[in-house]
Amino acid sequence: MFNPMQKLKNKDSKKEETNTKATRAVYLMSTAIIIAALAIFLYYHPLDDIRTMQSANSNNVENNGNDTGRLIATSTNAESNGTTPEKSNNTKSNGIGGGNIVGDSRAGKKDLPIYCVKTDEKKVALSFDAAWGADDTLDILNTLDKYNVKVTFFMTGGWVKEYPDMVKEIYARGHDLGNHSENHKQMSKLSEAEQIQEISSVDAKIKEITGYDCFLFRPPYGDYNSTLIKTTYGINHYPIQWDVDSLDWKDYGVSNIIKTVTQHKALGNGSIILMHNGAKYTAQALENVITSLQEQGYTLVPISQLIVKENFHMDGTGRQIAN
């Protein structure tokens, strides 16, 4: 039997179902738009950038309150002639990471440390990481003296504590004192506060022993992220890597070290060379490394005299370029 009321109810039910589907479609479309917008935002503003902006804002508050908890080594003309960067309580808001160093560490989507420097001058920098052992360090220093070459030593807090007299000797002979972190950890795994502690504790040890203010930092294992680069600049240090690895730590022998360095495909004007004072064959290979580089026309300088101190930018390979 035909029931008009039942037909009307069926129509209402279908209409309600249609409205529900339409509402659900609008909801899903709105959600998709929001997710897409968030994805686009994060693409152009990575989390490292967001954390850095928050950190910079925090630093500005601290600085306005005259908080001197962060070590500040501000000289942009420091040479390895025994002078040290001056400290300042006045920070520049336009410095990288909220510090005093004016430049741009960004290349594409990431902040980069200094792997090498663009220069028309035929000069390179030797550097030594000091994290274990000191048996050959005096031999290395004597060879450097023989050829009147100044270099940069990057030291961990543990090494500084164990060999304070050697730290004094390195400093007395006119070499750069660099920071290689307190505990030789993977810095990208640490929070910003932990990164600052790893760097500042070594600064304090070196300062106490020599009176020198460190302003060069090399992360252990070459490990970094954008947060670390901004943090390093934020406490007025230059993050330093290398573009020529001697591979001396692999203990392949003297001739291998010499060949690896002097015939390296990346070797060129502005190169930074990585060596280790505690590697087995480094001291024996050093003299030939120096003379071979000099025969190629290179002048060897410490990193403090190679890098651009301010008004610079980076290319995608980590090459520092003066503006």
Residues noted as catalytic: 129, 276
Give me the half-sphere count of Cα atoms (radius 13 Å) on the Cβ side of residue 6.
3
CB distance 134 to 163 below 8 Å: yes
Give how far Cα 206 sits from Cα of 153, 157, 226, Å.
12, 9, 26
For the CA atoms of 187, 188, 193, 198, the dihedral, rounded to the nearest 10 degrees, stands at 0
Maximum CA pair distance of the chain? Answer: 115
Strands 312-314 and 319-322: antiparallel
CB distance 297 to 280 below 8 Å: no
Which is nearest to 319 in space by CA: 244, 234, 260? 244
**CA of residue 97 relative to chain centroid, distance:** 12
CB distance 292 to 258 below 8 Å: yes
